[in-house]
A and B are shown apart, each in its own frame.
Chain A
Amino acid sequence: MKNKRNFLHMRYPVLLLALSLFVFTGCDEKNDEEVIPGSVLMEFNLTWNGDACAIGDVQNDHLDHPLRIDNLQMYLAPVEMRNDRGEWVEIKDVALLDFGVHGQKITAAAEIGIYDGLRFGMGLPPEINTDIDPASYANDHPLSVPGSAGMFWTWASGYVFVKYEGKFAETTGSQLLEPLSYHCGTDESYRSVTFNFEEAIAVESQEVQAFSLSFNAAAALTGPDDSVDIVQDPVTHNAQGTILGARLMDLMDDAWTLNPL
C-alpha cells in the first residue's frame, strides 16, 4: 500500500509535466510569433491614348477607322517585384485580366521589404501554356476549364494570351460591322513588361502597397516601330503560325504605363 501511494505520488508530477507541456506547446498555431506579410494591390485601367475608356466605347484608330472594342482579356504570369537584393520575388503566379469587368485588380501577399521594380509576363510561360490539361486545375484557377473559358485553344496550342476583339468600319459614319479578332498566343509570343520604380517602395507588415497600371488599347495597334492596319489585318489566331500575333504582342508590350506612386 505504501509502495502504491509512493508510486501515485511519483506518477502525478510526471503526468502534470506532460499535460503542462501539451497545454503550453501543443497549440503552436496560437503561440508562434507570425510574421504577417504586407500586400500589394495592382489596379488596372483601360485607356485610349491616355483617356479613360471602357469596353463598348467607339474610338478612332491611328488611321481614323472607327473601332469598338468588345472584349479585351489577357493573362499576366507571373507578376513579380524586385527586392533590394536585386531578386525578383513572385507575388502572383497567374492572373487573367478582363477589361470588360469594371475594376480589374490583382491583390497578393508580399514579403516585407524594399522593392524597386515590377515585372510581369504578358501571356503564359511555356511550362504552363501547353500540354497541360485545364481540367487538372481547381475551378477557381484562371487556367481551369471555367477559369479559362474562351481563352483556351487546344492542349497542343495552349492558351490565348491576349484576346482583343471588336467591330470596326472602314470609314467614319458607317455601321460597325467588320470583325476585329486578335487572338495572340504561342510560346514565341510570350512577352515581359518591366518597370523600374522612380523611388523604391517599402512593403510593411499588414500594410497595402497600391499601384495603378494603365493599358493603352490604341497603342496595341500602333507604336514607334510598327503599326497594324485593322482593315488589312483584322484577324489573327497565331497558334497557326501567322506573325501578326507576335507583332501585336510587341506593340502591347509597350502599351503599359505604371502610374505615379
Chain B
Amino acid sequence: MGIWYSHITLGLLLVICLTGCERCNPDPCDPPCETLATPYTLEIPPFFPPMDIPSDNPLTEEGIELGRLLFWEKSLSADGSMSCGSCHMPSAGFAEPNVYSTGITGAQGTRNAMAIVNLGWASSYFWDGRGTSLEEQILEPVSHPDEMALPWDEAVQRLQEMPTAENNIDYPSRFEHAFETSVVSAELVTKAIAQFLRTMISADSKFDQWRRGETSLTDMEFAGYEMFIREGGDPEITPGGQFGGDCFHCHSEAGLQFSDYLFRNNGLDSAFTSDPGLAGVTGNTLDSGRFKTPTLRNVALTAPYMHDGRFQTLEDVIDHYDSGGLPSSTVDPFMKYNSGGLMLSDVQKERLIAFMHTLTDTAFISDPRFQDPH
C-alpha cells in the first residue's frame, strides 16, 4: 500500500513538473513556427545595421527560391510578356534604364522604376512612400493596369494550375515546400518575393572593400569621398560651408546605406501639380514635391535619375545640385538655391563622380542567385 501510494504521489508530481510550470518551459515556437521549410540565415555585411525581418515571413531556402521564380515569372502579367525583372534589369542595377517603364498595354508609368537593392533595410517603398512593407509594395505592379495588368485572382489561378504545357514549374508543390500549403494566394506570392528581395544585398562594391581594408581608393576617388561628406557652400555665405558636395546629409553613410530613406524636395520644380510626391499620400501640403531619397549604391548603373528620370547622366545630377535647385515653399533647406549653389569646380565634380563609381557592385548585379531561373 505504501509503495502504491508512493507511486501515485510520484506520478502526480511528475505531471505537475511537466505541465504545471509553463514559464519554465518556454514555447519552442516563440516566435511562432511558421513553416518547416529550411531556415535561411542571412549574413549581415560588416558595418550594416541589423535587418528587421517580419516574424510572419521568416526567410527560408524554399521561400527565397520560390520568390526568385515568381520575380522572374512572366505568367504574372496578363499577356505573359512581363515579369518583375522586366523593369528591374540586372544590367541596370536592377532598375529601369528607360525614363518610364512600358506596361503590357503600351501604357507608360509616370515615375522611373527604382533600383532593387538592399530593400530589406528600407522603411518605406515607392518614390512617394505609399508602400509600408516590402510585401505590400509587391502587391501593386502585378495588378496595376499600366504595368503587368493581371488581376490577382487570375494570377493566383494561373499559378495554382501549373505545371502546364507552357510552364513546367509545379508552383503548388513549391508553395507546399515553402509555406506548407499548396493553395496559392496573393499573400503567399508577395511573401515569397519579399523573401527573395531581402536577400538581394549589395555590399561588395569597391567602397565596401575599401571600408573593410581590402583595397585602396585612387586619389581621385578618395578626394571625391571627401567632397561627398563635406558641407556645401561658400562659408562667407553659408555658415559652416566647406565648398563640399553636401551629399552625405541625405545619402547618409550610416549603416552604409547611402540613403536615410527620408523624403525631400530637392528643388527640381517650383510647382507640383503634375506629381505631388509624398503629399499625394499624406495629404499634407508641406510634403509637396517630396520624394524618397534613393540609395546611391550602383548609382552609376541606374540612370536615368530622379523620380521622373529627367537626368540621363551623373553629370546632369551633379549640375543640378551645384545649381542649388529651384525655390519653392517646400524645397529642402540643404539645397543652396538662394546662396549661389554648391560652387563646385569641374575637377570637384569629376571627383564626386569618381567616388560614386566606387559604389558599383558588379558582383551583385551578376550574382547567379538573382538571375532569371526560367
B331 and A135 contact, CB distance less than 8 A = no
Of B2-10, B70-78, B180-188, the one touching chain A: B2-10
B6 and A12 contact, CB distance less than 8 A = yes
Across-interface contacts of A152 in B (CB, < 8 A): 252, 254, 260
Q: Which residue of B lies closest to A22 (CB)?
A: B17
Extra A-B contacts (12), CB below 8 Å, given A167-B333, A178-B338 = A8-B3, A56-B284, A56-B286, A133-B47, A134-B49, A144-B49, A145-B49, A177-B338, A179-B333, A179-B335, A236-B239, A244-B239
Of B18-26, B93-101, B192-200, the one touching chain A: B18-26
B17 and A15 contact, CB distance less than 8 A = no
B255 and A16 contact, CB distance less than 8 A = no
Asked if A175 lies at the interface with its beta carbon under 8 angstroms from chain B, I say yes
* Contact flag A16-B13 (CB < 8 Å), given A177-B327, A179-B338: yes
Across-interface contacts of B255 in A (CB, < 8 A): 134-135, 145
Asked if B253 lies at the interface with its beta carbon under 8 angstroms from chain A, I say yes
CA A16 to CA B9, docked complex, whole Å: 8
Annotate A129-150 by CB proximity to B: 1 below 8 A, 0 otherwise. Answer: 0000111011100001110111
Asked if A154 lies at the interface with its beta carbon under 8 angstroms from chain B, I say yes
CA A179 to CA B267, docked complex, whole Å: 12
B10 and A12 contact, CB distance less than 8 A = yes
Residues of A whose CB lies within 8 Å of any CB of B are 8-9, 12, 15-16, 19-20, 22-23, 26-27, 29-30, 55-56, 70, 133-135, 137-139, 144-146, 148-150, 152-154, 165-167, 175-181, 233, 235-242, 244
Annotate B221-264 by CB proximity to A: 1 below 8 A, 0 otherwise. Answer: 00000000101000000111110000011001111110011100
Instruction: With both chains docked as a complex, state the minimum distance between the C-beta of A244 and any C-beta of chain B, in angstroms.
Output: 6
Instruction: With both chains docked as a complex, state the minimum distance between the C-beta of B293 and any C-beta of chain A, in angstroms.
Output: 9
Residues of B whose CB lies within 8 Å of any CB of A are 2-3, 6, 9-10, 13-14, 16-17, 20-21, 23-24, 47-50, 52, 121, 123, 229, 231, 238-242, 248-249, 252-257, 260-262, 284, 286, 327-335, 337-338
CA A236 to CA B334, docked complex, whole Å: 11
Across-interface contacts of A180 in B (CB, < 8 A): 333
Across-interface contacts of A148 in B (CB, < 8 A): 254
CA A109 to CA B262, docked complex, whole Å: 31
B47 and A23 contact, CB distance less than 8 A = no
A19 and B254 contact, CB distance less than 8 A = no
A150 and B254 contact, CB distance less than 8 A = no
A240 and B231 contact, CB distance less than 8 A = yes
CA A129 to CA B243, docked complex, whole Å: 25
Across-interface contacts of A238 in B (CB, < 8 A): 240
* Contact flag A235-B239 (CB < 8 Å), given A154-B253, A178-B338: yes
B20, B254, B327, most chain A CB atoms within 10 A? B254
Q: Which residue of B lies closest to A100 (CB)?
A: B286
A9 and B3 contact, CB distance less than 8 A = yes
CA A213 to CA B251, docked complex, whole Å: 34
A15, A239, A240, A244, most chain B CB atoms within 10 A? A240
Across-interface contacts of A30 in B (CB, < 8 A): 21, 23
A237 and B240 contact, CB distance less than 8 A = yes
Q: Which of A19, A70, A233 contacts B239 (CB 8 A)?
A: A233
CA A2 to CA B121, docked complex, whole Å: 72
Instruction: With both chains docked as a complex, state the minimum distance between the C-beta of A139 and any C-beta of chain B, in angstroms.
Output: 5
B49 and A16 contact, CB distance less than 8 A = no
Q: Which of A22, A146, A244 contacts B261 (CB 8 A)?
A: A146
Tell me whether chain B's interface is mostly helix, strand or loop, or mixed. loop
* Contact flag A20-B13 (CB < 8 Å), given A133-B47, A139-B50, A240-B240: yes
Instruction: With both chains docked as a complex, state the minimum distance between the C-beta of A8 and any C-beta of chain B, in angstroms.
Output: 7
Q: Which residue of A lies closest to B270 (CB)?
A: A177
Q: Which residue of A lies closest to B233 (CB)?
A: A235
A23 and B13 contact, CB distance less than 8 A = yes
Across-interface contacts of A139 in B (CB, < 8 A): 49-50, 52
Q: Which residue of B lies closest to A180 (CB)?
A: B333
Across-interface contacts of B332 in A (CB, < 8 A): 179
Across-interface contacts of A26 in B (CB, < 8 A): 17, 21, 24
The 26 listed contacts between A and B (C-beta, < 8 Å) are A16-B13, A19-B14, A23-B13, A23-B17, A23-B21, A26-B24, A55-B286, A135-B48, A135-B255, A135-B256, A139-B49, A139-B50, A145-B254, A146-B121, A149-B252, A152-B252, A153-B248, A154-B229, A167-B329, A179-B331, A179-B338, A181-B334, A235-B238, A236-B239, A237-B240, A241-B240
A56, A146, A178, A240, most chain B CB atoms within 10 A? A146
A19 and B49 contact, CB distance less than 8 A = no
CA A16 to CA B17, docked complex, whole Å: 12
Across-interface contacts of B24 in A (CB, < 8 A): 26-27, 29
B333 and A181 contact, CB distance less than 8 A = yes
B49 and A146 contact, CB distance less than 8 A = yes
CA A114 to CA B327, docked complex, whole Å: 54
Instruction: With both chains docked as a complex, state the minimum distance between the C-beta of A108 and any C-beta of chain B, in angstroms.
Output: 23
Across-interface contacts of A236 in B (CB, < 8 A): 239-240
B52, B240, B248, most chain A CB atoms within 10 A? B240
Instruction: With both chains docked as a complex, state the minimum distance between the C-beta of A182 and any C-beta of chain B, in angstroms.
Output: 9
B23 and A175 contact, CB distance less than 8 A = no
Instruction: With both chains docked as a complex, state the minimum distance between the C-beta of A206 and any C-beta of chain B, in angstroms.
Output: 20
CA A139 to CA B53, docked complex, whole Å: 11
Across-interface contacts of A23 in B (CB, < 8 A): 13, 16-17, 20-21
Q: Which of B121, B240, B242 contacts A145 (CB 8 A)?
A: B121
Q: Which residue of B lies closest to A159 (CB)?
A: B254
CA A145 to CA B327, docked complex, whole Å: 30
Instruction: With both chains docked as a complex, state the minimum distance between the C-beta of B37 and any C-beta of chain A, in angstroms.
Output: 25
Q: Which of B23, B49, B330 contacts A135 (CB 8 A)?
A: B49
Q: Which residue of A lies closest to B20 (CB)?
A: A23
Q: Which residue of B lies closest to A160 (CB)?
A: B249
* Contact flag A150-B262 (CB < 8 Å), given A179-B338, A240-B231: yes
